[in-house]
Amino acid sequence: MGSNHHFVHSFGFLSILIFTFIFALVIYLRAVVSLVFAGKTWPLYRVIIWVLGIICSLGAVSGPIASRAHMDFTAHMLTHLLLGMVAPLLMVLAAPMTLILKTVTVKTGRRLCCFLKSKFIRLIGSPIVASVLNIGGLWVLYCSNLYHVMQENVFLHFLVHMHIFLAGYVFTASIIYIDPAPHRTSFLHRAIVFAATLSGHGILAKYIYVHPPAGVGAEQAKMAGMVMYYGGDVVDLVLIIIFCYQWYKSARPVRAVDQSYGGR
């Protein structure tokens, strides 16, 4: 009876996660269709990467990897990479807020802009705060009893997964500006925070390799640590390339102007 009760609750919270990501997919595609019918265009690649981001999110919370993650720490780490790094990066690059602002009414657009300019968004969207929520949350998860406890508490399991995704999304959005960002910080500031975050992620992966979380075997911890370290490096490399390209692109016009004046 207890097992059935646990399964019902687990399925209920799982359904919330699945529904949330499917709803996000439908809203995005609906916005694209309305934009096209209005005679405007939207890059096809953004639609594709949004769909891929949703697929990664759904793969992390449902399907074989998600089912195995309850008993296999390596599989859990794969869900962490998909839900906390790959999906957020893809979905940030899809520029959902820009799409929404192009399709809503002027009145709604002004309200959204006011929300984006609010103190709350300024705080959450700060690279430092976003980094603490992202990497700090992972340190708490794997260096305390939280990982072990969440395996027994379906609601906590749901909250942890939501945090991993949202923290990953907010952090990614705070480093590379794709959507409107009223509270922008300098490239140097973001580069320093980004470098510190990469170090924190790498150190945590090595720590897990040597010091498994409660209830995790040594062999699984070693494999999961390598998945986190090397898998994270691949995603971070893509993020670094995008960030450096944006920095180069922002500096290039200034240099061109300087050279034109210098040549006269």
Cα 248 to Cα 76: distance, rounded to the nearest angstrom: 37
Looking at per-residue confidence, does 150 or 203 come out higher? Answer: 203
Q: What is the per-residue pLDDT for 251?
A: 82
At 196-247, the pLDDT tens digits run 999 999 999 999 999 888 778 889 889 999 999 999 999 999 999 999 999 9
Percent of the chain with pLDDT over 90: 62
User: Which pairs from 65-74 meet CB under 8 Å and 24+ separation?
Assistant: 70/151, 72/220, 73/212, 73/213, 73/216, 73/217, 73/220, 73/221, 73/223, 73/224, 74/220, 74/223, 74/224, 74/227
- Domain extents in the chain: 2-250
- Average pLDDT of the chain, as a whole number: 88
State which amino acid sits at residue 15. S
Cα 206 to Cα 227: distance, rounded to the nearest angstrom: 11
The arithmetic mean of pLDDT across residues 179-207, rounded, is: 93
